[in-house]
Structure 1
């Protein structure tokens, strides 16, 4: 029988302190990599300029609709305020009571004015947009019979703020 030969340096087991150090480094590597990745992503987000901007804050007031001067059409008007730090866009308008409504704007060409459909309306940050008969309004085609003092609900749809519902009051057309 032969006795076991003494183990060479490569065959000897690692000292316990090396095993503990290697295990500690492996355990610490995951949270360190996670923190560095999160820091890089936050830096990239901040660099784009989007971090810290407050969202748009939309409010609608002074809502009114003209008593239809004829049975063909009329218009509704709103004052829209955005107290937020980012722009928002009014993308569409609807009214369950009126049927066909759309954003429109008055265009003057060769001395004659007419209304044109408007796809959307930007409401700038920290600003207000006032709809008037001489600019942007909500066109109402084929309105029902309305009397002064009637109320009509409108839903205004914004790109970022979603739906804002408002009650308008029917007012007579002033000359």
Structure 2
């Protein structure tokens, strides 16, 4: 008598089981990895930005620009980018910049379009790296002093309100205290 071709033999059953075992194992490993990632709080965790230690330098003499600095922490699970800074407490243009030094020691700044704040990391702005360049223009009704110069509109200790705009976290308001350049320990 001949075997029925539709009836599986022991060899066919073993081959079918081994063929199904590979994708099932891969799926189980992937599911275990995702479960572990979720258990430690990283799955789907958005960027969470905290801004602190805002400070803005008093402009030098009759300077038309100054700088502001912030400490930014991303305590979330996704990267975020600082894309813009605005302020109702300033009248000039505001932008991100990075200070660089040439081989001869001359300093210059370059415009920065955005700054990435990686998940779980901090970005500390300083006069030697990334900062916020703040244009200083006189108030509309200010009267010039002798020689056509304007008195600074800020005093040390004043608070200036800034809004930092992030790609994922949106707008975050942060005050910055006005300090003398020699008071800046950064």
Q: Shared topology, TM-score over 0.5?
A: yes
Unaligned runs of 5+ in 2: 1-30, 139-152
Q: Which of 33, 47, 58 lines up with 1:56 in the alignment?
A: 47
Q: Which residue of 1 aligns with 2:95?
A: 102
Q: What is the CA distance between 1:142 and its match in structure 2?
A: 2.4
Cα distance in 2 for residues equivalent to 1:52 and 1:74: 41
Q: Which residue of 2 aligns with 1:125?
A: 119
Within 5 Å, give how 1:16-165 maps onto structure 2.
Answer: 52-70=43-61, 71-99=63-91, 100-110=93-103, 111-144=105-138, 145-165=153-173
Q: What is the CA distance between 1:143 and its match in structure 2?
A: 4.5
- Secondary structure at the aligned position of 1:174 is classed as helix
Aligned 8 A contact 1:76 1:137 in 2: yes
Cα distance in 2 for residues equivalent to 1:83 and 1:137: 21
Q: Which residue of 1 aligns with 2:181?
A: 173
Aligned residues: 128
Aligned 8 A contact 1:88 1:122 in 2: yes
Cα distance in 2 for residues equivalent to 1:75 and 1:124: 23
Cα distance in 1 for residues equivalent to 2:157 and 2:43: 44
Aligned 8 A contact 1:68 1:143 in 2: no
- Secondary structure at the aligned position of 2:181 is classed as coil
Q: Please report the TM-score for the alignment, with normalisation by the length of structure 2.
A: 0.64
Superposed CA RMSD in Å reads 1.9
Give CA-to-partner distance per residue, 1:106-150, whole Å, 9 cap, x none: 011232111111100000100100000000000012245211011
Unaligned runs of 5+ in 1: 1-42
